[in-house]
Structure 1
Amino acid sequence: MGLQALFFYLFAFVAVASAFMVIASRNPVYSVLFLILTFFNAAGLFLLTGAEFLAMILLVVYVGAVAVLFLFVVMMLDIDFAALRAGVLEYAPVGALIGVILAIELIVVIGGSTLSPEIASNISMPIPPVAERTNTAALGDVLYTHYVYFF
């Protein structure tokens, strides 16, 4: 197993574990901090795929703005979370039904690609490999093309 695969599994495991802790944490401040950790690991996964621009945008926009805003709103508001949790059991059957539907959809999508591998072989890569052209340069070409077209 290569170093890149090791880091992929590390980032993916921490991202999934911290995403679970976002919804499992009882304290909303801890939940926002776990959300920030999830964003950092998602940015690490973007860096592994060569999408440096998306990784930096994720960190700047989501961690720098949205997650901090969530943190300040949660800390500034005095919400009675005990009253909010009292109604959770009322909506549990609807949530379980939606979860089962999503699980069935995932099984159909993953099972469809496993049962008919010729579909997966017909998919072509729309972008050149990173060795030929970096993602940031390709994004600059797209933005320049749209800028010239607009004006």
Structure 2
Amino acid sequence: MLQGIAFYLMSAVAVLSGLLVVTARNPVHSVLWLILAFFSSAGLFVLLGAEFLAMLLVVVYVGAVAVLFLFVVMMLDVDFVRLREGFAAYLPLAAIVAGVLLAEMVMISIVVAQGGAAADAVAPALATADTTNVEAIGRVLYTDYVYVFQAAGIVLLIAMIGAIVLTLRRKESVRRQDPGAQTNRDRRTSVEIKGVTTGVGVTGEELR
């Protein structure tokens, strides 16, 4: 009974905070609601016996990603009023996409509840007294889902390269290093020998 109450309570908090992330007018409040959603999801993982995933969710997403979002939102002077000007134009398309996603989730939930495709799937290696959660996740991740794991890594790599390319700006006033030119230089282009007369500087002016 206590586990059921905790499950429904944290599920309700996670769903409500997820809705408030999208509907909140203040972006700082949206990030705070997102942190609450992460904590609620971590609690659900604890109830499922996946303590490693719960810790990973709190440390990585709450401790790094959500805090980074909060810093970016608070430091950047973004004109959110201008960003919302075209919201009504994209509302019909967004409603169609949201309806399709909702229908898919409902269909999957019905199939799982009836014991359909999910019941015939290969059961993952659960953590026992001899194996920990980390070992069980590692076995499943690097055996049954190794190709999906590598594909996800490639997608993240492409996203990182795309973000760098889109945000990289070259300005003439900014001095940047050229590793290729530094590596390929020789003595003729990097060293200049001058004969300096005693009492006279390099520029030829008499020293006082």
1:104-150 deviations in whole A, cap 9, x for unaligned? 22233234446x6454543453223646644135357x4xx99xxxx
Alpha-carbon contact 2:14-2:40 (below 8 Å) kept: yes
Structure 2, unmatched stretches of 5+, are: 144-208
The residue number in structure 2 matching 1:122 is 120
Alpha-carbon contact 2:3-2:47 (below 8 Å) kept: yes
Distance 1:6 1:98 in 2: 33
Distance 2:121 2:136 in 1: 21
* RCO comparison, higher one (Cα < 8 Å, 6+): 1
Tell me the TM-score normalised to structure 1 length.
0.81
Alpha-carbon contact 1:40-1:59 (below 8 Å) kept: yes
Q: State the percentage of identical aligned residues.
A: 50
Tell me the TM-score normalised to structure 2 length.
0.60
Alignment of 1:71-150 (within 5 A): 71-113=70-112, 117=115, 119-123=117-121, 125-128=123-126, 130=128, 133-139=131-137, 142=139
Alignment of 1:15-94 (within 5 A): 15-94=14-93
Structure 2 counterpart SS, 1:89:
coil
Q: Which has the larger radius of gyration?
A: 2
Structure 2 counterpart SS, 1:78:
coil
1:1-53 deviations in whole A, cap 9, x for unaligned? x1111111111110111111101110000000000000011111111111111
Structure 1 counterpart SS, 2:89:
helix
Structure 2 counterpart SS, 1:26:
coil
Structure 1, unmatched stretches of 5+, are: 147-151
Q: How many residue pairs get matched?
A: 142
Structure 2 counterpart SS, 1:90:
coil
Alpha-carbon contact 2:126-2:133 (below 8 Å) kept: no
Q: Following TM superposition, where does structure 1 have runs of at least 4 consecutive aligned residues deviating by more than 6 angstroms?
A: none
The residue number in structure 1 matching 2:166 is none
Q: What is the root-mean-square deviation in Å for CA atoms of aligned residues? A: 2.6
Distance 1:63 1:129 in 2: 25
Alpha-carbon contact 1:18-1:38 (below 8 Å) kept: yes
Distance 2:115 2:49 in 1: 26
